[in-house]
């Protein structure tokens, strides 16, 4: 007996949505690993959660990190560089790309903005939980 077809629409219940995200994330990471092993493919996968966490997988140097985007592995950087070459995007160290310092400042600014928004909406979140 097979599973029923899932209707693709946003899950309204917060708890169910988080559980579904966690299960599907794990499945996607497993599939990325299987593809890299079975087909000897270079696989890079970045998942940004609704809560702001980053999950990543890169083949040949397995990384499963829960952190911010700033911390990527050498293997992931190599995969991203290869992708940029394929689609004709500038390299991170080229004159056309922004500097690493710019992006660090941008990440800090975004973190502060998220903290401000969370603090402003904290009473609303508490009401949703109750």
Q: Please tell me the predicted confidence (pLDDT) of residue 30.
A: 95
In 1-130, beta strands by DSSP E: 44-48, 54-58, 65-67
| Exposed/middle/buried for residue 51 (C-beta within 10 Å: 0-12, 13-18, 19+) | exposed
CB 29 within 8 A of CB 55: yes
pLDDT higher than threshold 50 for residue 70: no
- Considering only CA atoms, which of 78, 71, 24, 74 is closest in space to residue 50? 24
**pTM of the full structure:** 0.52
Matching residue, tokens 């911010």:
68
Least confident of 26-40, 70-84, 87-101: 87-101
Segment 99-116 mean pLDDT: 83
Say which range, 61-65, 79-83, 114-118, has the weakest mean pLDDT.
61-65
pLDDT in tens, 41-60: 888 888 888 887 888 888 86
Q: From CA 34, how far away is CA 118, in angstroms rounded?
A: 38
- In this predicted model, which residue has the larger pLDDT, 57 or 98? 57
Q: Label residue 19 by pLDDT band (50, 70, 90).
A: very high
pLDDT at 28 exceeding the cut of 90: yes
Q: CA–CA separation, 77 vs 63, rounded Å?
A: 12
């Amino acid at each position: 007996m097979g599973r029923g077809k899932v209707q693709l629409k946003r899950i309204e219940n917060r708890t169910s949505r988080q559980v579904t995200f966690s299960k599907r994330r794990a499945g996607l990471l497993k599939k990325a690993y299987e593809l890299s092993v079975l087909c000897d493919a270079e696989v890079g996968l970045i998942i940004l959660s609704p809560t702001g966490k980053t999950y990543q997988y890169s083949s040949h140097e397995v990384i499963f990190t829960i952190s911010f985007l700033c911390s990527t592995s050498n293997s992931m950087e190599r995969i991203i560089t290869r992708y940029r070459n394929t689609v004709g995007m500038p390299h991170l160290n080229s004159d056309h790309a922004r500097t690493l310092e710019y992006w660090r400042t941008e990440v800090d600014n975004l973190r502060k903005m998220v903290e401000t928004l969370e603090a402003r909406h904290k009473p609303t979140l508490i009401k949703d939980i109750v």
